[in-house]
Chains A and B, each alone.
Chain A
């Protein structure tokens, strides 16, 4: 496989998913004063009509915590039964400690559970599902909480029209548990760090940008995106990832109920789906109402457009995350009937 090594994992299932968005809705009118007529051009490509942005001081973990509270309530999970918490985000609370540690305490999970942060964006949800399945497979955990999301609005460059309108904020919680009843899940994960500088927040870490040809004079803590290179990466990586994941699963493409693609931008999703020969009616798109919520787009699809289907019956779904890193992941798995799939507001 060109995309990465195939892993078939048995013995776990998703029990429920909850997404949480902040109440503040930003419409495109918000950007007209700064960008004028160009707003329409950008919207034509990205397809984002509105997005939810956090107020000052609200972090990804706040959104994830709220989502987790609802999830525990709906599933009637005893909190002492959770064995691990995986927090996936590019917008943690602090440089240290890991946000997973703070969430363990905040959510009243028992001390002694496994808690780790994973620093990935658009591909992060697939990595989290894979990690959870692996933990369950080793016997290290029976019930795992995935807290996945980003508040990219905080890193937006307000003067860069290619990113200012694109991103939205969301935090999600996914319950994964041991189960002998589900079919094997298939994963393919991959990385190519040669694209590291094409989608980056160059400052705020521990490497100095002094003398860097591109980032020496770049403002602090602001996102830089080379949209053309991002698109080129997805063209090279994603159709192959989709084809190889489906092939590795041993399930015919027509037997899939849904293909959930990271909501990067509408133009890109449609182009990639067409290139991978996926039927448009099985590729839901909700970026119009939420923007690109980075690591949260896939669970946000599950609690939004795919929620009714996933609550009703068992579905075979393909999940594909790709972006910052470069990093990508494809998963083929049975999901549903979910006890809970809903979107809440903070």
Chain B
């Protein structure tokens, strides 16, 4: 998960050490640009695409992880 966490920390503009599953996705940061960047990150790290709509509904980092891990 480290490469993914590093990338996500950059997108969310937080210190990598502060990034945990519980971290809430603040509305001010979790915007369409962050979502597109996260789609690219997931594609790069896991070679898979996730739905932008599903991603936009995520409220915590843990929910993004769950989305990446799911088969949908």
Asked if A162 is an interface residue, CB under 8 A from chain B, the answer is yes
Could you tell me if B32 and A236 are in contact, using CB atoms closer than 8 angstroms? no
Closest-by-CB residue of B relative to A270 is B40
- Which residues in A have their C-beta under 8 angstroms from that of B33? 41-42, 45, 162, 227
- Which residues in B have their C-beta under 8 angstroms from that of A236? 49
- Which residues in B have their C-beta under 8 angstroms from that of A235? 39-40, 43, 49
Closest-by-CB residue of A relative to B43 is A235
Could you tell me if A227 and B49 are in contact, using CB atoms closer than 8 angstroms? no
- Which residues in B have their C-beta under 8 angstroms from that of A162? 32-33
Bound-state CA distance A267–B53 (Å) is: 20
Distance from B56 Cβ to chain A, minimum over Cβ atoms (Å): 7
Asked if A271 is an interface residue, CB under 8 A from chain B, the answer is yes
Q: Interface code A218-234, partner B: CB below 8 Å = 1, 0 otherwise? A: 00000000111101100
Distance from A264 Cβ to chain B, minimum over Cβ atoms (Å): 11
Task: Decide: A229 near B52, CB < 8 A? Known: A162-B32, A275-B43.
Answer: yes
**Number of cross-chain contacts by CB at 8 Å:** 46
- Contacting A at CB under 8 A, from B13-72, are 32-33, 35-37, 39-40, 43-44, 49-53, 55-56
- Which residues in A have their C-beta under 8 angstroms from that of B56? 228
- Which residues in B have their C-beta under 8 angstroms from that of A232? 39, 49-52
Could you tell me if A226 and B40 are in contact, using CB atoms closer than 8 angstroms? no
Query: A267 is contacted by which of B32, B40, B55 (Cβ under 8 Å)?
Result: B40
Could you tell me if A231 and B55 are in contact, using CB atoms closer than 8 angstroms? no
Query: A231 is contacted by which of B36, B44, B53 (Cβ under 8 Å)?
Result: B36
Query: A227 is contacted by which of B36, B43, B50, B51 (Cβ under 8 Å)?
Result: B36
- Which residues in A have their C-beta under 8 angstroms from that of B55? 228
Could you tell me if A271 and B52 are in contact, using CB atoms closer than 8 angstroms? no
Total interface residues on A, CB under 8 Å, equals: 15
Task: Decide: A228 near B40, CB < 8 A? Known: A45-B33, A162-B32.
Answer: no
Could you tell me if B51 and A231 are in contact, using CB atoms closer than 8 angstroms? no
Bound-state CA distance A275–B32 (Å) is: 22
- Which residues in B have their C-beta under 8 angstroms from that of A42? 33
Distance from B54 Cβ to chain A, minimum over Cβ atoms (Å): 10
Could you tell me if B37 and A228 are in contact, using CB atoms closer than 8 angstroms? no
Distance from B40 Cβ to chain A, minimum over Cβ atoms (Å): 5
Could you tell me if B43 and A228 are in contact, using CB atoms closer than 8 angstroms? no
Bound-state CA distance A105–B56 (Å) is: 50
Could you tell me if A228 and B49 are in contact, using CB atoms closer than 8 angstroms? no
Q: Interface code A189-207, partner B: CB below 8 Å = 1, 0 otherwise? A: 0000000000000000000
Bound-state CA distance A162–B37 (Å) is: 13
Closest-by-CB residue of B relative to A271 is B40
Query: Which A residues lie at the B interface, using CB under 8 A?
Result: 41-42, 45, 162, 226-229, 231-232, 235-236, 267, 271, 275
Selected A-B contacts with CB under 8 Å, 22 pairs: A41-B33, A42-B33, A45-B36, A162-B32, A227-B32, A227-B35, A227-B52, A228-B35, A228-B36, A228-B39, A228-B51, A228-B53, A229-B53, A231-B39, A231-B52, A232-B50, A235-B40, A235-B49, A236-B49, A267-B36, A271-B43, A271-B44
The 8 closest A-B pairs by CB, nearest first: A228-B52, A228-B35, A231-B36, A229-B52, A227-B32, A232-B49, A271-B40, A235-B49
